[in-house]
């Protein structure tokens, strides 16, 4: 598992000090890196109003991920591991 080398608890702790959309983006990314859901649950439950785009510099189109309240506007540009 790739996420095993990360200090996920520390990363999550820092992300929770940032804004909600940063926490959601990070949670989405960590999930795709194979980090177990229980370790990123604090990011998943961060309240956020509406939805946001994953890449703020990208177009406002792409599939919507309701779990993270993110529009995944990076098709074909990143490796999505599932």
Identify the CA nearest to 62 among candidates 77, 51, 76, 73: 73
Residue 80 domain-assigned? no
pTM: 0.82
| Domain boundaries, position 9 | 2-71
**Confidence at residue 68, expressed as pLDDT on a 0 to 100 scale:** 96
Number of structural domains, the chain? 1
The SS3 call for residue 73 is coil
Place of tokens 């598992």: 1
Q: How confident is the model at residue 59 (pLDDT cuts 50, 70, 90)?
A: confident
Of residues 34 and 74, which shows the higher confidence score?
A: 34
């Amino acid at each position: 598992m790739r996420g095993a080398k990360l200090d996920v608890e520390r990363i999550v702790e820092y992300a929770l000090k940032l804004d909600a959309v940063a926490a959601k983006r990070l949670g989405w990314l960590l999930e795709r890196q194979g980090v177990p859901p229980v370790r990123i649950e604090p990011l998943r439950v961060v309240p956020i109003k509406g939805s946001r785009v994953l890449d703020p510099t990208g177009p406002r189109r792409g599939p919507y991920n309701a779990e993270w309240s993110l529009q995944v506007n990076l098709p074909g540009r990143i490796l999505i591991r599932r």
